[in-house]
């Protein structure tokens, strides 16, 4: 029986979540058992359907329930892995720099497909792993990535075009080896962009220059662009804009490095096709990773090469086996093959979208027109323009002193003057309670300066 305490301090959806989870873990609700519909349960408990749906979605994201199209919600056949906690005196607890952490500095792994990962790991252990893997990475994993990238980003490639890397720095090193002529020209890097994607080229002896308007490209042979641009501007290229850019680059016989690290978490329907697709795979390097979904600590990137450079890659690296974790690659291969990864991304998108809407509504109620939302149709950040004389650095410093950590967007530009007037909330590693409490603390901290 589910009981609602309307006089207590705990939110109703959390009461539902905790009670249902307890019933599942104690076998009151059996594996495969159908859950009451959201309509029925909302009427039975006299609560809104949104409240019931919120509790169900959280249970799906954590692996307690599964959602079947046309069949509603059911209890999973495999409970999420539950680790027995050590006594408080023995447990090592991470205590970050901030009580309310809206930065992306630490992966708390609160939302992670634990059961699916462990099940995949058991399957990998049952058949073992070859000692030496190909230079591109595990073949089975790359074969699964072919279908995965095609479904998500309309990218049509072969396994030979895919290279598994430890992150973008390794991907950049491979690109620099394949394109030695770039050392005699300039790589134009679109801003805003992640600092390592901008700065790594110096160590590779490739000159760079920044640009900010893709419609007025500087004259050069190669460009680096993050077309989703969720962070920190909250903007991105539409499908029509991607097609226009692809046509322009092909007409000028220019190369593109497409950096796509947050495009799979789209809140407005299907993610836009990659520019790689619009360019027909010609003159384009595509890079993605799992930072926004499984966490940046996984350290596995995916680099897609133009087909014309596959032979050159094999010749250059043929004696160097890929040294990235084949164990993790095969686990990810299992997750993709069983649809566990895409299902998790779909549920994660629901949870993140709820958090984004919560932040947007609270910021509007609390700060009015002092902070205005700047879009963000994908990813795990909420971006707000600051309509005040207060500097972003000062706002972030005051917030930090009050125990609220915020992301400083200035790092994504090289010597931008004046500083970019935006505040960025990362909600990847927080929850609803921390969002509500953190914004209350911000309201007090900024009351005299915003």
What CATH code is assigned to 345-445? 3.90.1150.10
What local confidence, expressed as pLDDT, does residue 96 receive?
65
**13 three-class SS:** helix
pLDDT of residue 85: 42
Please tell me the predicted confidence (pLDDT) of residue 213: 87
Q: How far is Cα 72 from Cα 369, in angstroms, rounded to an integer?
A: 40
Architecture of the domain defined by 117-341: 3-Layer(aba) Sandwich (3.40)
Sign of CA dihedral 348, 99, 5, 356: negative
- Residue 347: name the closest of 47, 64, 27 by CA: 64
Q: Return the number of other C-beta atoms located less than 10 Å from residue 366's C-beta.
A: 15
**What does the pLDDT read at residue 91?**
45
Ranges of each domain in the chain: 12-82, 117-341, 345-445
Cβ contacts of residue 381 below 8 Å, gap of 6+? 230, 231, 232, 234, 407, 424, 425, 426, 427
- Structure tokens, 445: 């901290």
* Domain at 12-82: CATH code: 1.10.10.10
- Length of the chain equals 450
For the packed helices 38-45 and 49-61, what is the interaxial angle rounded to 10 degrees?
Answer: 120
Residues in Cβ contact with 118 at an 8 Å cutoff, skipping those fewer than 6 apart: 81
Q: Which residues contact 11 (CB under 8 A, 6 or more apart)?
A: 432, 433
Nearest to 62 by CA among 76, 42, 72: 76
By DSSP bridging, strand 187-190 and strand 222-225 are parallel
Measured CA to CA, the distance from residue 115 to residue 121 in angstroms comes to 10
Query: What is the predicted pLDDT for the residue at 233?
Result: 58
Per residue in 250-294, pLDDT (tens digit) is: 999 999 999 998 656 666 666 778 999 999 999 999 999 998 888
Element holding 163 (H helix, E strand):
strand 162-165
Q: pLDDT tens-digit profile of 390-417?
A: 999 999 999 999 999 998 888 887 877 7
The model's pTM: 0.81
Over the chain (450 residues), the average pLDDT of each successive run of 10 is 82 90 76 92 93 92 85 84 45 67 80 84 88 91 96 94 96 97 95 90 96 91 85 71 94 96 66 90 95 85 97 92 92 94 80 84 94 76 90 94 90 77 86 90 94
* Residue 5 DSSP class: -
């Amino acid at each position: 029986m589910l009981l609602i305490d309307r006089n207590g301090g705990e939110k109703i959806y959390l009461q539902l979540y905790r009670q249902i989870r307890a019933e599942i873990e104690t076998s009151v609700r059996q594996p495969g058992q159908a859950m009451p519909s959201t309509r029925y349960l909302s009427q039975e408990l006299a609560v809104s359907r949104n409240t019931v749906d919120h509790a169900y979605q959280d249970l799906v994201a954590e692996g307690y329930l599964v959602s079947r199209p046309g069949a509603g919600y059911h209890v999973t056949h495999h409970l999420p892995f539950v680790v027995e906690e050590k006594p408080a005196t023995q447990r090592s607890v991470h205590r970050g720099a901030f009580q309310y952490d809206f930065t992306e500095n630490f992966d708390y792994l609160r939302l992670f497909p634990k059961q699916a990962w462990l099940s995949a790991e058991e399957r990998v252990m049952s058949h073992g792993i070859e000692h030496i893997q190909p230079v591109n990475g595990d073949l089975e994993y790359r074969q699964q990535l072919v279908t995965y990238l095609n479904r998500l980003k309309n990218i049509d490639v072969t396994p030979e075009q895919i290279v598994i890397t430890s992150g973008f720095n390794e991907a950049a090193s491979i690109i620099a080896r394949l394109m030695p002529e770039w050392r005699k020209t300039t790589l134009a890097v679109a801003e805003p962009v992640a600092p390592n994607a901008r700065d790594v080229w110096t160590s590779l002896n490739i000159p760079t220059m920044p640009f900010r308007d893709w419609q007025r490209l500087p004259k050069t042979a190669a460009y680096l662009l993050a077309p989703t641009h969720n962070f920190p501007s909250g903007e991105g290229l539409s499908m029509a804009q991607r097609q226009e850019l692809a046509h322009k680059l092909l007409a000028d016989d220019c190369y593109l490095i497409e950096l796509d690290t947050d495009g799979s978490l789209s809140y407005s329907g299907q993610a836009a096709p990659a520019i790689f697709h619009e360019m027909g795979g010609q003159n384009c390097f595509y890079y993605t990773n799992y930072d926004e979904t499984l966490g940046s600590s996984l350290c596995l990137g995916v680099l897609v090469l133009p087909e014309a450079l596959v032979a050159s890659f094999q010749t250059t690296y043929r004696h160097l086996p890929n040294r990235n974790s084949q164990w993790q690659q095969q686990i990810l291969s299992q997750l993709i093959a069983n649809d566990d990864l895409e299902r998790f991304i779909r549920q994660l998108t629901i949870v993140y979208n709820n958090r984004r809407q919560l932040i947007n509504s609270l910021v509007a109620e609390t700060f009015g027109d002092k902070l205005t939302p700047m879009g963000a149709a994908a990813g795990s950040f909420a971006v707000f323009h600051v309509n005040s004389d207060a500097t972003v650095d000062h706002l972030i410093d005051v917030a930090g002193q009050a125990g609220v950590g915020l992301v400083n967007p200035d790092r994504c530009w090289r010597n931008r003057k004046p500083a970019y007037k935006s505040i960025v909330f990362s909600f990847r590693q927080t929850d609803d309670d921390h969002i509500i409490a953190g914004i209350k603390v911000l309201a007090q901290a900024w009351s005299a300066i915003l």
